[in-house]
Structure 1
Amino acid sequence: MLHIPNEDARFIRETCGPEIIDVLEEQAAEHAWTDLYLHRPEWTAQGRSYTDAVLLAVEVAPPAQQIILKIVPAGAAGREPAAAAAAAEAVETFTDLHLVKQPFDPVPLPDGRTLMFQKVAGDSLRSTTTVGGLDGQHRARVVEHLIRGLLSCWNAEVLKLAVPEPVKVSAFLREELNGVWQGDGSLQAWGRSLGVLDPAPPWLYSDGMRLPNPYLMVKGGPALPDPELRVLRGLGHGDLHLDNILVPQMEGTVQAEAYRLIDLCTFSARADLGGDAATVLLSALIPFVEHELPPDQRHALLRFIVAPHATHGAYIVPRAKTLVQAVTVTAQREMSHWRDSWDAQFLLSLMARALMFTTYTGIGVAGRGWLVRLAAHAGGELLARTARRQGGQAWPPPLEPGRDSFTTTQFSAVGVAGSRGSAGFVPDQEPQRRRWETDSGVRDERAVLGFGPDHTVVLVDGQGRVRRWSVGGDSLPGAEGRPARIRVGHQALVSSLTHSLVTAWPKELEILRFPQDAGVFRSDPVHFDGGENFLVTSGGDVFATHDRKSLTVRSFEDGSVVERVPCPASLAASAVSLDASVIALARSQEVFIHRRGRPTLQRSMANSMLYFRTGLLRKFSSLVGPGCQLAVSPSGSHVGCVTFEEVLVWSTEDGREVYRRKLTDREAREALGGEGMRLLCTETGTLFCLKRGRLSCPTIDGGIQLRQSGRYVDVATSRDGRLMAMLGSEGRLEVWDL
């Protein structure tokens, strides 16, 4: 007769169900136990439970021994006893050191659950903890030993006889994600909530990079490459997060090499050999990414994982960097005989496991958004490597503006309790995080914004008064203006290389310089010869003016002439790149793109006012030559144009048209009139348009307006495209991360 203390028996019935007592009595008769009692002090397994299993630590006698009772729920988890037994039989030496054995056969329960008996990992409950409960330094040591053991010990014999299996990327991903992808699973539901699945755009933009849509890579199809890789399979845990790894401590010292693996219900003898390493890495990084990271840190960590470079290290939290290296560098050493193919397989494993992790609701929206980014970065790096290896097209493919780049601009994901919050995976083309704001004290419709060198923000009002700040908000020396007003709006330009700016007065230019050890130095005025001159309100390394006959590129040093380009008749708009290597000049229905050292491109566009397109006024449309807006990206890679009728973007590399759409009637009506209009172009060819105080993205159907508070007077982007400054009509100056 088995003796169980009344208090212990009551706890077991309440926790596990009354039938467990009957089963334990049957086991006692079989194994000659006379006593069973809960381990005191009461023990509770540390870490999170992913399977809803119930764990109880008990002591039985005779002979006196500690064992773990584990009641495994029905369903997929119910295969754990058989899977654990198979894992234990695979490699005896690894099992003795690193797996938890089953001293007695499992017992199926009437309700479909299973009662398992396990030995205590590390021989002691009190001195054993999960790796997730360790600090960063000890955690990295255990992870390094673990990765080495998985590849060089557990799979040593497997690798001696392994033959790589050819598999398409999409087929591999679907197999790995089977349960959460098939049948409209939770992975697909999350993808739809992000707005990147059904329909699935092939390309997403992140941190200035063009990346493949990872959901579309799982789905397969002609929109993205689907290369064939050779992958190695072997013994794998299948769910090796940090709370499924136990490690003993001796006299307060972590015994890193004595780790034990638990919860082997997902064990497979044909597992993706990179899957366990990827799971360990992601579970170790979740604490660092479950809250939104600053863009530079986020980007550096993502790239350090998929394509590490020494320059990334300065932006990464040291503990996170150490954990990444504990997995990736250790695995590369152990797989040195298979290095290049291993790197490709590990990227594929990262994609699968990152997408799998997005189905874990406990991670949170920000963390899940980071995981989608990681899957996209891993997919992009994988396609880049296979494209180079297979001699395919140049990689990465050319950046394309327009619909794809904005497919995810507005997306957000459903968070806790139905609230909506940023999922963290959006293109750089939308302001994401306000870095700093202040009351500039300037309430002037003619005020102009610009970014100077060394992360400075410069504001010039309509009388030429200059105010300057660091991006962090510190005030810098400025300058007083003049009684007269500068000639028209946006007639000032800030240098991106030196602490200088130029303002345009009715008959002259004035260049102001701000030395580090002084206030302001005003150069001699630059007088215009002949007729009326205008400042071209783009550039940065140099500036330009035009008199409708020629465009003159000038130095910020003294306004001296660097280059002259003839203007077409009836000039309507002009724009230059930072260094003026690309100059765009437009008249009503033609754009001329001058490329330094290469032939000039000539492109046509539709441009007529809404009321002249139909009805009685249509016959007069050819007599009316409306203007347009032009913008050149900082490096000169793209030229954008917005007319009264359409939006166009051209690539200056080969002159191809990369985006074109007709304006809606609403947009066409809004284009009539309005001062202070500004068009900006990013390196991806995405356009920003400031019109009537509202900032919009013309390179999307309907010209969607960005979120903003109040009315803007001017906007500017930094030289590297990472920051945007906005000046509100009430004087509020804001700087945002893009």
Structure 2
Amino acid sequence: MAEPLEPYVPDPTLRAALEDFGQQCHREISVPPQTRLDRGYGGATLFVARLTEPVPPGRTLTRKVFVKVLPARSRNREVRGQHRARAAPGDFARRHLAEQIFPPIDLRDGRRLMFEETTTGGARVRALDELDGDDLLAAFRAVLEAVLHEWNGVEPTPGRTHPPTRATALGPYLERELRAAGTWEKVHDAMSIFGFHSDAESLLIDSRPLPNPLRALDPASPYHRQPIDFHPGFAHGDLHGGNVLVPCGADGRPYPERFSLVGLSAIDAEAPLTRDLAALLLATVLRYVPSLTRGESEALITYLVHPQRGRPGTLPGPVAELVRIADEVGTAYARPPGGTPTWRRQARLSLIAQALTCTTFEDLRPDRGLWCLRLAARAMQAHLDEHPLPSAAVPAPPTAVGRWPVSPPAIPRRETGTAHPRQRSDADPPDAGPVAPPVVTARRVGARGRSPRRMLLWCVLAAALLAAVGIAVWVLDPLATPPRRAGNQPANTGLASFAKRCW
């Protein structure tokens, strides 16, 4: 007997659609109790279900499928992504991309229900997010190598030693990456939530001004038009640990080379190839950020921004290995020496875009979201240091408009569900920044004036002062009025007269 859907699928519209589907196709559909409802960039919901169907003679066949519920705004985008995914040459799509096994079902509220069967078949699977240690590192490497070398394999061409490149500019590159992640509108709001102006030239973080990565998106910024070359190709577009499924044997041993990718709505055939690498790398290392000391957090940012400098000695093994593997696989694909500078440059820009994207995720706020903002600013500083503009095009000295406090509050914010950052230890360097301070204090300056809260306080004080003067006039007027003179006209002198003029 199949498990009832109600305990695991609380949405009544979705539950009714699944039950109707099972009746119409003469199959029993159930949801395993351990199912997790995962959400990707596009707002879709993905979970595991089991289909049981009769097969002759008198037997039943059960297979595992993935049910994906698309929001109304992206229902057609998923179909286009499926077609793009299978347009690539080679066997990557057949070996690693989920198949649509039934026609999609349109729900009455505009959403779309889709059924995907992974390349893992009926094997027990674990998401990459559920792996750790050597299993995680092996699966991480297998996914990146397959995406680059199998899905985007470059045929040998006379006179070319590295993948082809395309030309663009810094502002359009970052804008394209944010739009692809669905965070173009959200990232400016995230900056204000953290206490910064999205149009400021710089951000003051730990008393150190860093360039604001969002300024390059403004066509008025001289950095917006800075020329950029990048390697294009196929990208999954929503590559995080929840969309990577790894089959396991009966003993629980994973087989990373047989991984399967689900959630194909954001596939792009002309994307920067570092999009997937940066997304999977950052999503995976963020699992470890809350447990790092401040010195380790600083070392991780430095290693992500400058992987060519080698692993910092203070960084723990698993986190350092993830960064090393991503850089090693990427530069090997770029085929040095010709492609390595271009690859590392675009990898850093994709890292900036992915870090900004992560600031918009509510489940990463405030600690890891702020850490990502700091990473984006540091990466932008490194980019501008290595690729400066001509002196005539450099803007005026930046104005710091925000402040990241050095010491986090003693009480963590409970609604985020994230770990509270560690307090500073004697072993940490004195100038190391915080891993994840829960609160950012904004400081607004210049033509924008004072903050709304301070202006409101001044208005309240002014109103109270005027009210006090009015009361004084009313109380003191009978006492301060002198005897009437000839003509019954009072003298216009004394305290009451002064108070009346003030009132």
Fold agreement, TM-score > 0.5: yes
Q: CA deviation at 1:316?
A: 0.8
Correspondence for 1:624: none
CA distance, structure 2, for counterparts of residue 434 and residue 223 of structure 1: 39
Q: CA deviation at 1:280?
A: 0.5
Deviations 1:256-314 (A, max 9, x none): 211111111111112221110000001111122246x5443222111111113667521
- 1:59 is aligned to 2:49: no
AA aligned to 1:254 is P
Deviations 1:188-223 (A, max 9, x none): 1111233332551x2345578653211212335336
Q: Percent identical across equivalent pairs?
A: 21
- 1:351 is aligned to 2:343: no
CA distance, structure 2, for counterparts of residue 245 and residue 91 of structure 1: 21
Q: CA deviation at 1:71?
A: 4.4
Q: CA deviation at 1:175?
A: 2.0
- 1:408 is aligned to 2:403: yes
Could you say if the C-alpha distance between residues 154 and 275 of structure 1 is closer, same or farther in structure 2, counting changes exceeding 3 Å? same
Correspondence for 1:254: 254
Q: CA deviation at 1:149?
A: 0.8
Say which of 93, 96, 102 aligns to 2:94.
96
Could you say if the C-alpha distance between residues 253 and 206 of structure 1 is closer, same or farther in structure 2, counting changes exceeding 3 Å? same
- 1:156 is aligned to 2:127: no
Q: Secondary structure at the match of 1:239?
A: coil
1:655-666 correspondence runs (5 A): none
Correspondence for 2:127: 130
Could you say if the C-alpha distance between residues 376 and 264 of structure 1 is closer, same or farther in structure 2, counting changes exceeding 3 Å? same
When the two chains are superposed, the root-mean-square deviation of aligned CA atoms in Å is: 4.1
Moved over 4 A (4+): 4-15, 157-163, 179-182, 205-210, 223-226, 309-312, 397-400, 409-419, 421-424, 432-436
- 1:107 is aligned to 2:105: yes
- Which has the greater radius of gyration? 1
Contact 1:212/1:224 (8 A) holds in 2: no
CA distance, structure 2, for counterparts of residue 382 and residue 281 of structure 1: 19
Q: CA deviation at 1:410?
A: 5.8
AA aligned to 1:364 is R
CA distance, structure 2, for counterparts of residue 145 and residue 471 of structure 1: 36
Correspondence for 2:296: 297
Contact 1:210/1:399 (8 A) holds in 2: no
Q: CA deviation at 1:96?
A: 2.2
In the alignment, structure 2 segments of 5+ residues that lack a partner are 432-444, 447-503
Contact 1:306/1:347 (8 A) holds in 2: yes
1:359-370 correspondence runs (5 A): 359-370=360-371
TM-score normalised per structure 2: 0.70
CA distance, structure 2, for counterparts of residue 69 and residue 143 of structure 1: 22
Could you say if the C-alpha distance between residues 186 and 222 of structure 1 is closer, same or farther in structure 2, counting changes exceeding 3 Å? closer
Could you say if the C-alpha distance between residues 385 and 9 of structure 1 is closer, same or farther in structure 2, counting changes exceeding 3 Å? closer
Moved more, 70-79 or 90-99: 70-79
Correspondence for 2:39: 49
CA distance, structure 1, for counterparts of residue 405 and residue 419 of structure 2: 9
Which structure has greater strand proportion? 1
AA aligned to 2:102 is F
Correspondence for 2:15: 17
CA distance, structure 1, for counterparts of residue 401 and residue 12 of structure 2: 54
Correspondence for 2:287: 287
Q: Secondary structure at the match of 2:38?
A: coil
Could you say if the C-alpha distance between residues 413 and 177 of structure 1 is closer, same or farther in structure 2, counting changes exceeding 3 Å? farther
AA aligned to 2:370 is G
AA aligned to 1:115 is L
- 1:384 is aligned to 2:385: yes
Aligned residues: 412
CA distance, structure 1, for counterparts of residue 14 and residue 193 of structure 2: 38
Correspondence for 1:70: 67
Correspondence for 1:451: none
CA distance, structure 2, for counterparts of residue 89 and residue 66 of structure 1: 27
Deviations 1:164-206 (A, max 9, x none): 2221111111222137555xx3211111233332551x23455
Correspondence for 2:476: none
AA aligned to 1:176 is E
Contact 1:67/1:118 (8 A) holds in 2: no
Q: Secondary structure at the match of 1:347?
A: helix
Could you say if the C-alpha distance between residues 303 and 90 of structure 1 is closer, same or farther in structure 2, counting changes exceeding 3 Å? same
Correspondence for 1:275: 275
AA aligned to 1:262 is V
Correspondence for 1:169: 170
AA aligned to 1:372 is L
In the alignment, structure 1 segments of 5+ residues that lack a partner are 29-33, 425-431, 437-454, 456-469, 473-681, 683-699, 702-738
Which structure has greater helix proportion? 2
CA distance, structure 1, for counterparts of residue 29 and residue 192 of structure 2: 51
Could you say if the C-alpha distance between residues 363 and 68 of structure 1 is closer, same or farther in structure 2, counting changes exceeding 3 Å? same
CA distance, structure 1, for counterparts of residue 36 and residue 65 of structure 2: 14
Q: Secondary structure at the match of 1:238?
A: coil
Q: CA deviation at 1:80?
A: 2.3
Correspondence for 2:326: 327
TM-score normalised per structure 1: 0.49
CA distance, structure 2, for counterparts of residue 364 and residue 9 of structure 1: 31
